[in-house]
Amino acid sequence: MSFTLSTLKTTIQDYLESDETTFVNNLNTIILQAEERILKSVQIPDQRKNVQGNVSQDNRFLNTPSDFLAPFSLAVISSNNYDYLDFKHNSFIKEFVTDTTTRGKPRYYAIFDQGSFEIAPVPDTNYSMELHYLAQPTSLTAGGDSGTTYLSTDAPDTLLYGCLLEGAVFLKLDPNDIGLYEARFKESLLRLKNLGEGRDTRDEMRYDSLRTNVT
């Protein structure tokens, strides 16, 4: 079983036995709410991304991707070797860089604002960098009627029951019906979370075996 945007909307209406105009007009919102509920509880593969870029000499700031939510790691790449920076609070960076004229190979990084990292020491030359980060996935509602996402194809039951729960609340159905959809949603969410944690464990084992700390 998998869903496109169109087939998911039809299935929601069939389960909840409603084609009321206000309900149908709010189906995109209901789907968005279900996606948000899921993504607050579990990380999915679509959220893990790698991107490479460069930090230039004398520039202590590095822009984050537009879909950036949180970092997993940031590394300096040199001759296929990865030297991982330590993630710190920006107050540490300010204390570390008491002399803004100090230059060196980056060892630490912190979130400076919504769109950039601050790096310390200030780079003494240009460096190639790789960021492994948690991304904001594209919503199913962002595409056309035939569009799909990871949740709609690989976790369709979780997405469906999340939508049914949100839809039942929207329609103000009987509390017993809402409770049923909530129970089904939690069961499917737990399966998805266990699957994700198993994958993360394997990723961490590979990551730990390759990690080299900056010295």
Residue 70 corresponds to which tokens in the numbers above?
């949180």
Q: Which residues of 22-49 are buried (b: 16+ CB within 10 A; e: fewer)?
A: ebeebbeebbbbbbebbbeebbbeebeb
Write down the pLDDT at residue 98: 67
Residue 51 corresponds to which tokens in the numbers above?
């991107």
- Tens digit of pLDDT for each residue in 100-135? 678 999 999 999 998 999 999 999 999 999 999 999
- Judged against a pLDDT cut of 80, whether residue 202 lies above it is answered with no
For the chain, domain boundaries: 5-44+138-204, 46-135
Write down the pLDDT at residue 124: 95
Q: Which residue has the higher pLDDT, 193 or 45?
A: 193
User: Which residues on neighbouring strands pair with residue 50, listed in sequence order?
Assistant: 132
Q: Residues 70, 134: contact at Cβ < 8 Å?
A: yes
pTM of the model: 0.72
Distance of alpha carbon 20 from alpha carbon 92, whole angstroms? 55
Strands 86-87 and 116-120: unpaired
User: Which residues on neighbouring strands pair with residue 83, listed in sequence order?
Assistant: 76, 212
Lowest mean pLDDT, pick from 59-68, 135-144, 176-185, 194-203: 194-203
Distance of alpha carbon 89 from alpha carbon 108, whole angstroms? 10
Packing angle, helices 156-170 and 27-39, rounded to 10: 120
Average pLDDT value for the chain: 89
Write down the pLDDT at residue 46: 78
- Judged against a pLDDT cut of 80, whether residue 199 lies above it is answered with no
